[in-house]
Amino acid sequence: MTASILNRIIAERPAHDGVLTVAGLGHRRAMPLAELHDRARAVAGALRRGGIGEGDRIGVLAANRIEWILLDLAALMLKAQTAGFEPGKFTPDAELVERYGLDQLYTDAPIPDGAPPAVRPIAEIARHADEDPPEIHAPLWEPEDCTTVKFTSGSTGVPKGLEATVASIDSSLRDVQGMFDHRPGDRLLVFLPLSLLQQRYWLYSALRWGHDLVVTTYQSVFAVMPAVEPTVVMAVPGFFDSARRHLEGRLADGVDAAKAAAELFGSRIRYLWTGSAPADPAMLRFFTEAGLPIFEGYGLNETCIATKNHPGAHREGSVGKALPGKEILIDADGVVCVRSDHPVNTAYTFAAPGESERMFKPGGLVRTGDLGHLDEDGYLYIHGRSDDVIVLDNGKKVVVRPIETRFRDTGAVAECVLYCRNQTGLVAVVSPHPGPVDRAAVAAALAAVNAGSEPDERISRVITADEPFTIDNGLLTSQFKPIRGRILERYRDRIADPKEGLHAR
Amino acid sequence: MPADLDTLAREQLAQVLRDRPDPATLDAGEDLAETYGLTSLNKVLFLTSLCRAADVGLERFTEDDLARMRTLGDVVEAMRPHADQKG
């Protein structure tokens, strides 16, 4: 059996020159990964003195910061499990500790009165990191052990919790490395929340393969990027859409494309990584033509990275071919299913009855709910989510995602979500761009989208949201995907009122 | 130092906004997020552009400073001491 990457990175102090930089507006701290390893051991020692050990679960509810990284590594060293909670979406109280069986919960949020002693300020971790590191004889993780609980975002209810196996993490790390060959001299930049396990993959990758890592926040990323000169930027399509708009503005001002790109991303970009949501083909083309190759992939929390375009195998319009440890199957309904040699898991740990059975099938298979097809060479194309299918009263199924994408890609709105509440026609709720709403542009976009649609797929009304969908107002996930249920909740009356909104002609 | 920081700030904000409004029409007292729909990402892009145009180092500001910049007027006031030093 191939040796575990996770076991290796916790057991071996790095001998390479890789550096971790944690940066934000007005602050930047860099440390060799070897020093990080020492500090993580010091934190592990302190946690162990506090009674944390194998099988315990440590919650982390904090923005991206060095203490998050130290806690994650320290937990791995003790064979304790982490549970990463997205900041702003959870409260560090007794209910959270109880619901997810946490032995400790570290947070940078204000600790409410009455919180149990298990809830601790994460600043404590920085003090522990300054102690002398003890020898940690880390117990070995077995392939089926789970290092962490990850939570699915996008639900209106209680997030589902999924424990991730060591074998699945090792397998993804190894497969990604095979495709992108990250190496000393590379500098990967991450800014999405570290509560997302995939963001922490790049930490594990840096420790194993000796490249640099920069961790920042989404509030700071545009300020940090040019200063830290990354070679790889990991982001969701919404981020690259914003970057593209900014760059187009600079080009319109007469700035040279290469100079504008370097002003924003620094001058060392090797490639850009995107996934987690459908990407606008025009955006992908823009970056490629600007000399910044961008590679789209596909995967869910439940499958981890399933397919990925990469320098050795890239086909425009697709989300790439299956990773070596994955197999893509399209079922009789056209739904994409992912089979993994090393599944993330075979059930949720925290979910309502029946939810695991809907997603996880026998044989390491996950039925994603997304519709798609494979071409003759094995490249996967995603058409839409089957749970985004609206069934009309005439029995016709409308896959709304492509229509929403077409509306968004007109450029008139930032996002579009479709509903069909009364079976009387599709109603769009659109997220406006910053600034005053250009009603004429929205009307023109509506006409253009309808002109290219089948009769059943035409939008009858458009409701412009009172404010753009954002993470802060709870209408986008941390990966910038619109949250259908919450948008519906907020605009339910206007969606149902046939007099509301801009009507199609 | 730029001759008129207020004008520069208006121009840079107008560029970040989708429909590129006339900079003179922007209200310096209005909330950037609520009135102009500026997201966190775009707010940093705006500040980045303004700092470049005003020749002020972005590293002078912290995330807390950014959070306090709720209006165009707040941004100009936060920038002014640093822009003055450049003069």
Q: What is the pLDDT of residues A164-208, one digit of tens each?
A: 999 999 999 999 999 999 999 999 999 989 999 999 999 999 999
Interface test with A, best of B34, B38, B45, B47 (most A CBs within 10 A): B45
Report, as an integer, the average pLDDT of B14-38. Answer: 82
What pLDDT sits at residue A158? 67
Q: Cβ distance A6 to A170 under 8 Å? A: yes
- CATH topology for A5-203 is Rossmann fold (3.40.50)
Give the C-alpha separation, A125 to A127, whole Å: 5
B19 has a chain A CB within 8 A of its CB = yes
Q: Which of A144-158, A395-409, B34-48 has the lowest mean pLDDT?
A: A144-158
User: In chain B, how many domains are there?
Assistant: 1
* CA-based nearest distance A183→chain B, Å: 29
Would you place residue A156 in the very low, low, confident or very high pLDDT band (cuts 50, 70, 90)? very low
Q: Cβ distance A70 to A40 under 8 Å? A: yes
For residue A35, give the 3-state DSSP assignment. Answer: helix
Domain ranges of chain A: 5-203, 392-503
Cross-strand pairs, A121: A107
Give residue B70's domain range. Answer: 5-86
For residue A104, give the 3-state DSSP assignment. Answer: strand
Would you place residue A154 in the very low, low, confident or very high pLDDT band (cuts 50, 70, 90)? very low
Task: Indicate if the pLDDT at residue A397 is higher than 80.
Answer: no
Residue type, A342: H
Task: Indicate if the pLDDT at residue A155 is higher than 50.
Answer: no
State which residue of chain A sits closest to B35, comparing Cα positions: A435
**Is the model more confident about A426 or about A107?**
A107
Count the Cβ atoms, other than its own, within 10 Å of residue A145.
19
B84 has a chain A CB within 8 A of its CB = no
A107-121 residues labelled b (16+ CB within 10 A) or e (exposed): bbbebeeebeebbbb
Q: In whole angstroms, how far apart are CA A378 and each of A25, A29, A151, A247?
A: 43, 43, 30, 34
CB–CB contact A25 B62 (8 Å): yes
Whole-number percent of chain A with pLDDT over 70: 95
In tens, the pLDDT along A456-494 reads: 788 989 999 998 998 888 898 877 888 888 899 899 999
- Parallel/antiparallel/unpaired status of strands A326-330 and A335-340: antiparallel
What pLDDT sits at residue A94? 96
For residue A228, give the 3-state DSSP assignment. Answer: helix
Task: Indicate if the pLDDT at residue A2 is higher than 70.
Answer: no
Candidate from A24, A433, A467 with C-beta closest to B63: A24
What pLDDT sits at residue A340? 96
Residue with tokens 């020749």: B55
State which residue of chain A sits closest to B26, comparing Cα positions: A435
Q: Cβ distance B54 to B79 under 8 Å? A: yes
Task: Indicate if the pLDDT at residue A115 is higher than 60.
Answer: yes
Task: Indicate if the pLDDT at residue A78 is higher than 90.
Answer: yes
Interface test with A, best of B63, B69, B72 (most A CBs within 10 A): B63
CB–CB contact A223 B60 (8 Å): no
Whole-number percent of chain A with pLDDT over 90: 67
Report, as an integer, the average pLDDT of A207-215. Answer: 98
What pLDDT sits at residue A496? 82
In tens, the pLDDT along A298-351 reads: 999 999 999 999 999 999 999 999 999 999 999 988 899 999 999 999 999 998
In tens, the pLDDT along A403-441 reads: 898 999 898 999 999 987 655 578 999 998 877 888 899
What pLDDT sits at residue A197? 96
Go through chain A and tell me how many residues it has: 505
What pLDDT sits at residue A463? 95
What pLDDT sits at residue A276? 78
Give the C-alpha separation, A212 to A33, whole Å: 8
For residue A388, give the 3-state DSSP assignment. Answer: helix
Entry pTM: 0.82
Q: Cβ distance A337 to A368 under 8 Å? A: yes
Residue type, A68: W
What pLDDT sits at residue A387? 62
Chain A from 246 to 265: CB within 8 A of any B CB: 246, 249, 263
Report, as an integer, the average pLDDT of A447-461. Answer: 86
What pLDDT sits at residue A407? 93
- The CATH number covering residue B53 comes to 1.10.1200.10
What pLDDT sits at residue A277? 73
Q: Which of A86-95, A127-136, A145-154, A265-274 has the lowest mean pLDDT?
A: A145-154
Q: Which CATH number fits domain A392-503: 3.30.300.30, 3.40.50.720, 3.40.50.1260, 3.20.20.70?
A: 3.30.300.30
